[in-house]
Structure 1
Amino acid sequence: MSDRSAIEWTEATWNPTTGCDRITPGCDNCYALTLSRRLKSMGAAKYQSDGDPRTSGPGFGLTLHPDALEVPLQWKSPRMVFVNSMSDLFHARVPLDFVRQVFEVIAETPQHTYQLLTKRALRLRRLADQLDWPTNLWMGVSVESADQLDRVDDLRAVPAAVRFLSCEPLLGSLGGLDLDGIGWVIAGGESGPNHRSIEEDWVIEIRDLCKAAGVPFFFKQWGGRTPKAGGRELEGQIWSEMPDRIPACAS
């Protein structure tokens, strides 16, 4: 699987773990589970066996890949890297020592900027003070509806250089969203044959909160049966704001 990414807000992906399981309504139509099945059928080595028999989905049990830890060390030119596009580093079955190893690789490659996203915000908060936080790491949590707003409070307790929110798939209004301490917000609709619809008012609400707080806002897609089906324009404009990258000389 190529490390280059088609995700609009990043440039490359790095998966030191693969596999996950459902913990929230945002997981119902998980793109990573669907993709893992296709990769398994194509013979991709990482997806040939379940890491844990308790999980469902061929090749999607939580699995550590220590050999993948070396991958970013081979990238010379600076790039934006999404960590674990096919998993969640703060899954309960990822040992703290392995999380530390991932953070060490990030610190050893300051030419890159890393984006790490989790739905397991409570474990993130509990482990935060046991980790050394590199200056080139952006930490985010998924917030699909108002039911997940507590994850934002957990994120605020984390000493990351940039804290960000992924409101995708956006499943409801986030009218109670507090952006204090948040440095970036991504929003987007769901894709796939079972996609749930997104309301324009929900997106406008988030954008206006970002504008008022001076937080960069990135609207990824309206969603639909295919990823590009609904386009990206919001009130006639493409919103693709991002935080400033960490300088390549940072340490």
Structure 2
Amino acid sequence: MGDKTGIEWTDSTWNPVTGCSKISPGCLNCYAETFAERWRGTDGHYFEGGFDITLRPDRLRLPLTWSKPRRIFLDSMSDLFHTGIPDDYIAHAFAVMALAPQHTFQILTKRHGRMKALLSRPAFWHQVADQGWKHFIGSQQDWPAVGTMLGGKNLPNVWLGVSVEDQKRADLRIPALLETPAAMRFLSCEPLLGPVDLKQAVTPLGSERGHGLATSYVHAGDCCERRLHGIDWVIVGGESGPGARPMHPNWARFLRDQCKWAGVRFFLKQWGAYAPEDHGHDHGGIALIDTQGHSWEGREDLAPPDAVRMRRVGKKKAGRLLDGLPHDAVPPLVLVP
């Protein structure tokens, strides 16, 4: 939980908070919860309280000790916008990010509503400035990030992302992300549990779904010139660990192809515990799923044509190639003067 990490799309993790609570289907087999709960009740252990929300103020200054620019995933063991985390503590974390412009911070949340509400309020950015002056600066001296913050905008070295495991969560979380001030926006479609259409029609209030004005969640045409900035980066991954659910190859292909169409960076993190059977593995349990995620195990004769056989081989053997190719696109580090 610090200087090094095994997460493929970042360089380091920073956890000023640990602990969380389940909020959607993607949380079912949470790796962080599984790890933390192993130690619940162990006197003196860092996770003695298991996966309960725990503020870690001793970790707040950690990024300030790293001089070399890096991508830092904030709260890999929590969700910064969880309702159990006070506003002023979140502001304190943002003050640290403002004071570490050499780094690029990646914040991923499932609490899209609180993120949007908090970061859209000028009063919150005043809190950030106050926390910076109180804990780090000591006086209201010249601080380049203050002007940005007091204007109610996000910091230029902070990327904001939402978890999107299926279409329902896409329709809930992506619009809120697009309405949140951000230097860079990304999606983590992991664990991917169903097909996700990033060009899904957004239905105006009072109209039937699909009959409204179609819009895209990703870049299209001259959206940036028209200041209608979309999604900059999409991460896709299958689930690993005990109880893992397989990811249909067509779900990953569908997102890859949408990103290619829109000119959006695409990153395939992992297949997870299951790989398509044509990967050449002949050991491990089999799952037969269709493109809607329905299981047809034991009913192979009834399975639709789009059903595929996925073999449980483990994350390492499954690898991270899609149709024989790696997909490693990552936005560049944001270098702030």
TM-score computed with the length of structure 2 as normaliser: 0.68
Aligned to 2:326: 238
Count of aligned positions: 240
> Equivalent residue of 1:90, what SS?
coil
Give the CA deviation at 1:143: 0.2
Aligned to 1:86: 77
User: Which stretch of structure 1 is more off in the superposition, 199-208 or 69-78?
Assistant: 69-78
- C-alpha distance in structure 1 between counterparts of 2:45 and 2:96, whole Å: 22
User: Which stretch of structure 1 is more off in the superposition, 112-121 or 173-182?
Assistant: 173-182
- C-alpha distance in structure 2 between counterparts of 1:158 and 1:12, whole Å: 25
Aligned to 1:134: 155
Aligned to 2:179: 157
Aligned to 1:54: none
* Correspondence 1:122-201 to 2 at 5 A: 122-130=113-121, 131=125, 132=149, 133-149=154-170, 150-177=172-199, 178-180=217-219, 181-201=230-250
Aligned to 1:31: 31
> Equivalent residue of 2:96, what SS?
helix
- 4+ residue runs of structure 1 moved beyond 6 angstroms? 41-44
Give the CA deviation at 1:48: 1.4
Change (3 A) 1:227 1:243: same
Preserved CA contact (<8 Å) 2:198 2:258? no
> Equivalent residue of 2:323, what SS?
coil
AA in 2 matched with 1:147: K
- C-alpha distance in structure 2 between counterparts of 1:100 and 1:67, whole Å: 16
Give the CA deviation at 1:77: 1.2
After superposition, what is the alpha-carbon deviation per residue over 1:115-170, rounded to whole angstroms, capped at 9, x for unaligned?
Answer: 11000111111112234321111110000000101200000011111100000000
Give the CA deviation at 1:179: 1.6
- C-alpha distance in structure 2 between counterparts of 1:148 and 1:122, whole Å: 12
User: Which stretch of structure 1 is more off in the superposition, 31-40 or 101-110?
Assistant: 31-40
Give the CA deviation at 1:91: 0.2
- C-alpha distance in structure 1 between counterparts of 2:264 and 2:37, whole Å: 37
1:64 aligns with 2:64: no
Say what the alpha-carbon RMSD is for the aligned residues. 1.7
When Rg is computed on C-alpha atoms for both structures, the one with the higher figure is 2
Change (3 A) 1:179 1:191: same
TM-score computed with the length of structure 1 as normaliser: 0.90
> Equivalent residue of 1:82, what SS?
strand
Give the CA deviation at 1:35: 1.7
- C-alpha distance in structure 2 between counterparts of 1:165 and 1:46, whole Å: 30
* Correspondence 1:42-53 to 2 at 5 A: 45-49=45-49
Higher relative contact order (CA 8 A, sep 6+): 1
Preserved CA contact (<8 Å) 1:186 1:217? yes
Preserved CA contact (<8 Å) 1:172 1:198? yes
Give the CA deviation at 1:190: 0.2
AA in 2 matched with 1:28: L
Change (3 A) 1:41 1:186: farther
Aligned to 2:7: 7
Preserved CA contact (<8 Å) 2:2 2:14? no
After superposition, what is the alpha-carbon deviation per residue over 1:193-240, rounded to whole angstroms, capped at 9, x for unaligned?
Answer: 210010111001000110111100000011106432311111111000
